[in-house]
Amino acid sequence: MAEYEFDFELLQELTETSGVPGYEDRIRDIVRRELEAHTDKVQTDAMGNVVGTIEGTSDYSVAVAAHMDEIGFMVRHVTDEGFVQLDALGGWDARILKAQRVQIHTESGDVTGVIGSPPPHTLSEEQKEKDDEVKDLYVDIGLDAETAKETVNVGDLVTMEQTTVEMGDHITGKALDDRICLFSILEAAKRVEDPDVTVHFAATVQEEVGLRGATALGVDLNPDLAIALDVTVANDVPGFDAGDHVTELGAGTAIKLKDGSVITNPKVHRRLRDVAESEGVEYQYEVLPAGGTDTAGFQNTHGAKPVGAISIPTRYLHTVTESAHVTDVDATIDLLAAFLDTETGEHDYTL
């Protein structure tokens, strides 16, 4: 396996802990613990966004954001037979959900369940050809109907059960989107000392259901510059032409030029490039045809703000086997830390 410098155990804790949109409590506790050790002050707003601030020597401020929430589900019904039906929180491809293990987070504790998948040789041709939808799936929790209804309630949260492991030169698991970038922000915060500008390290909520946390936070913080971190598509796998890869694993951190929600400020992404080259950080450009990130939340609030974004190339997004290359993670942390260390507040990002 390729060598890396980051804290794998912290990344493992972040990715394996549950936290769906609007219910990021367990992740928030970890983020607060880490930020309190490395920033001057930590605050949480009414939505649940967490901000750790390192005070600079000028009035200029930079916000750096990554989201805490992972895609998941909410219980919408428990059938008379004791099976649990779901409503999606975020964008799922239902084809990959069958025969997966889940955790249902009830008020009295976590309950293990499996998303049912009948044996293929028992299905009719019509059943085999039917397109799967989340609303048609059911979770078997191994309890009789009466006990199931006493145990699980409408509104309980559901997440996929998965461990995060090293796989060759990659890290694979659930919720790398966006915990691996949240982790990168926490690691960068450890390196930033006595900055010229004030830096707000922001862990946002509800990104997977519409960039809601970042949109509100952009108003509250009103930074002079915002940099968002998120994973991005890496379709460098069989079945895709090179022009459709978007990014490639092992080719460095990705400097975003555009996605479906934002066109980053050219002066910001060029400075990210210049810092990467001066620091010897491997990078690639990202042109993402669809999808959005917290970058747009900051661009749409409290007037015109220069925004940029750094992405970690990730295969198999929105599955339980999301995979990233360890050297790309290191490169992302290195670039973010170097960018913040060299930000003086005197760069002109006006177009």
- DSSP H helical ranges for 192-257: 212-221
- Mention every residue, 6+ apart, whose C-beta is less than 8 A from residue 300: 215, 218
Q: How do beta strands 61-67 and 109-115 pair? A: unpaired
- Can 207 be counted among the known catalytic residues? yes
In the block, tokens 């960068």 appear at: 188
196 marked as binding residue: no
Lay out the sheet containing 253-258: strands in order across: 41-44, 50-54, 198-204, 61-67, 225-233, 307-314, 253-258, 283-287
69 marked as binding residue: no
Rounded to an integer, what distance in angstroms lies between the CA atom of residue 218 and that of residue 305?
10
177 marked as binding residue: yes
- Could you say which of 24, 70, 187, 207 is catalytic? 207
325 marked as binding residue: no
274 marked as binding residue: no
In the block, tokens 């810092």 appear at: 275
Rounded to an integer, what distance in angstroms lies between the CA atom of residue 307 and that of residue 299?
7
Instruction: Specify binding-site residues for Zn(2+).
Output: 67, 177, 208, 230, 318
Binding-site positions read 67, 177, 208, 230, 318
Q: Which of the residues are catalytic?
A: 207
